[in-house]
Chains A and B, each alone.
Chain A
Amino acid sequence: MVLLTVDGIECRYGSVKVLEDVSLSVKGGDFVGILGPNGSGKTTLLKSISRILKPHKGTILLNKADIYSLKSIDVAKQLAVVPQDTSIGFNFAVLDIVLMGRNPHMKRLQMESERDMAVARKVMNLTNIWHLAERPINELSGGEKQRVIIARALAQEPKILLLDEPLTHLDIVNQLEIMDLVKDLCIEEKLIILAVFHDFNLAARYCGSAIMLKKGKIFSVGNLADVLNSENIKSVFNVDAIVTKHLVTNSIFVIPLSPQNSVTAGVLNVLDTDFETAQFLKIPVTTEAPFSPITKKTHKANLTMISEASTVVLTSVPFGDGNLQNLEAALIAVKKGIPTFVIEEVPIERRDFTGGKARALLAELKNKGAEFVKDQNELLSLLNVSVEKLKIAKEERDRLLDHLKPEKIPKEIKTKGKDKKK
């Protein structure tokens, strides 16, 4: 079985260190995702493994032989690369290009044999490009070209396949087809797959393990589930993300939140529609198990979220003993001085199933200065107020100034909802 060992390598471009102390060990059948932001050294790692950029320090061993001491042709029999960009000098036909993958297996002056053709045909069928065999490469679409390049790499019959963002030019169907194919080869032929991914969820779906790089160093390495968690994503990519299990594929599912997205929700019961809506909207949520009352732990988590919010919204939901704590949480928000809005579409009398406790809390909320609105539209009109609008609509400003100091309205208004969305 093929073994690839990277031991403490350091790579530089001139005097700039781009990889430092990177070690990993993979064997046939491993599908390793390489994750990291732009400039973290992903491509450099692949380049040093594929002998383009010799490391300053450290060694890379292919089956215990230093890869830099081997001949190009011997390495090419075992290791194939699907590069990030593909520019082709002259207008070769697709079949010719795929057959170039047979180069390491051919002698000088030798023409392609029937076996070479059989291999080419096999990989072209796998990548679904046999019908393009005689077409000139430059007449193909980006996705078709990419499949040609992948077929060429497979025609090398490699034991190790390095993929550098292999899916960039592919549409979704092609992405899945190609990755399924690669995954099959990984399992059936015990290939080592090292692939750079930008899409966490594709990585999660196909990789068994992963390396996360940050500024040229390994930040985290191991099983995918250990590497791909929200803490790592936050520290490496500087982006908030929700990491869950996907309901259908059961693989890890990452929902990165765009930095300006600032709505959070809690406490929601998992699998409820509001929870799913929040997932769909990629909103971070505090969750509780299905059909369960809010526990102390969850309540605390909710309060933490609220304390980070700049505005809290309490929606017009029915209250029972199970979710009464959401009202208490809102009250705490008001007491902390966080602007709090209460939507009252349906009078509290008709949605209080706690024997008056909810009603009392709501009254207290009003007392302490929570702003009551009659529906979502009114809420939005209040939230959307900007300083400029205030200048234009004088009357509106006067009315609003009583409740909100305009200079205190943050540019990004965070809302905190206990939200049963209709």
Chain B
Amino acid sequence: MNMDKVENTFFQRASRWKIIILLLILALIITVIISLNMGFAPIPFSDILGIIGKQIPFFDRLFDFSLVSPVNEAIVLEVRLPRIIAGVLIGAALAASGVLYQGVFKNPMADSYVLGVSAGAAVGASASILFGAGVMFFELRLIQIAAFVGAVSALFLVYNLARVGSRVPVTTLLLCGIAVNFFLFAVVSVLEIIAANRLHDIVFWLMGGYSNVYWQHIWAILPFIVIGIATAFFYVRDLNILAMGEETAHHLGVNVERSKLILLVLASLITAAAVSVCGLIGFVGLMIPHLTRLVIGPDHRILLPTSTIVGAIFLVLCDDLARVLSTFFGPMSTRDWPVGIITMLCGAPFFIFLLKKKKRSYGT
């Protein structure tokens, strides 16, 4: 076959994509290791590598890890690592679901807020704060379960409200989502009014953060997020084609209603899992997919993995900053800064900078 330049460039794309993903994974690992070092008590990198290495079977027989202090090991494994892993998972989840929502809705303004998923979680969380946040189920706090249930119920409600016969038109879905979203946030406001001395807790949850996360929370959300994102990969080409419009997608062999339902359920499950731990963290779901699309293009086959990893890196870095700031303001601050504030403070200006720079090539 006579290959010309265009074809060559096209076929090189697959390997280019692999390199991009590998580099991003590398960047993520470096980010995690650097983040382990940061915090109130500085721990040398050699110890960090040792502690991690010790956890990996096979490695622990190759090297001698006896020099690592048990205190440091406890800090890294029980305090810092869960928090960082939570950051990785939540960042990945929010960014990935953002990609899915924006793809399905063909709308760059879509994120977990549009289907009321975040609002549902907020209602669940606020109600549980009011009526007994301390109750535990299987080592999970009630608030986490309530937020998850709230998020999934909101999706169920919106989806069924928007249904017209056997079809669920995107416009109706968006409008129902927005209406339910407003309604649910009104409910949150009502809960805030009657919350009295617990108002502070609700407000903090709404700001978004995961400063006191433990392994059991991570195990609880891990399957949803990992399986959710992995399953979504089977539908990335459908997402590309859905961007051509639903009728065209249908003509190109996509089972539109089914793909749409699967993608929205996946996106909402992923979001619900993340939000149940971290509360409402803005910006990541909306802007990380945008930002990645600006650099990498609209093809969801590469957009989904890169957004996922960039989301993870971004949230871990923002959480580092939150930790540094709360250490800096240590004596005055009773608890850590919610990372949701940082994501918006840092992310928005950076995004605007990028938007200005690449204005020409950015068509929606």
Chain A contact residues, CB within 8 Å of chain B: 50-52, 71-77, 79-81, 83, 86-93, 95-97, 100-101, 103-104, 106, 108-109, 111-112, 114, 117-118, 121, 130, 133-134, 136, 138-139, 152-153, 156
State the total of A-B contacts with C-beta under 8 angstroms.
103
B189 at the interface (CB under 8 A from A): no
Contact of A89 among B234, B361, B364 (CB under 8 A): B364
A residues near B297, Cβ cutoff 8 Å: 92-93
Whether, in the assembled complex, B362 has its beta carbon less than 8 Å from a beta carbon of chain A, the answer is yes
- Give me the interface of B with A, judged by CB distance under 8 Å: 1, 6-7, 9-11, 14, 106-107, 233-235, 237, 240-245, 247-248, 250-256, 293, 297-299, 361-364
The 10 residue pairs across chains A and B that have the minimum distance between CB atoms:
A76-B253, A90-B298, A104-B253, A89-B243, A89-B106, A73-B253, A138-B363, A91-B363, A81-B251, A133-B6
Tell me the bound Cα distance from A61 to B344 in angstroms: 55
Contacts A103-B237, A106-B237 hold; do A121 and B361 have CB atoms under 8 A apart? Answer: no
Checking A92, A118, A130 against B1 with a beta-carbon cut-off of 8 angstroms, the contacting residue is: A118
Across-interface contacts of B255 in A (CB, < 8 A): 71-73
**B237 and A114 contacting across the interface, CB-CB below 8 Å:** no
Q: Which residue of B lies closest to A52 (CB)?
A: B247
* B253 lies within 8 A of A75 (CB): yes
Task: List 28 A-B pairs, Cβ < 8 Å.
Answer: A50-B251, A71-B255, A72-B254, A73-B253, A73-B255, A74-B253, A75-B253, A76-B251, A83-B248, A86-B248, A89-B243, A89-B245, A90-B243, A90-B364, A91-B361, A92-B297, A92-B298, A96-B240, A100-B241, A103-B252, A103-B253, A104-B253, A108-B235, A108-B237, A111-B14, A114-B11, A117-B10, A136-B361
**Which residue in chain B gives the minimum CB-CB distance to A82?**
B251
Most A CB contacts (10 A, CB to CB) among B107, B253, B256, B364 go to: B253
A242 to chain B, nearest CB (A): 38
- Chain A residues, CB < 8 A from B251: 50, 76, 79-81, 83, 153
The answer to whether B250 and A72 have CB atoms under 8 Å apart is yes
CB-CB under 8 A from A133, the residues of chain B are 6
Which residue of A83, A114, A118 is within 8 Å of B247 (Cβ)?
A83
Least CB distance from A145 to B in Å reads 12
Q: A117-B7, A133-B6 known; 10 other A-B pairs, CB under 8 Å?
A: A73-B255, A76-B252, A81-B247, A81-B251, A83-B247, A88-B245, A89-B244, A90-B243, A90-B293, A108-B235
Residue of B nearest to A136 (CB): B363
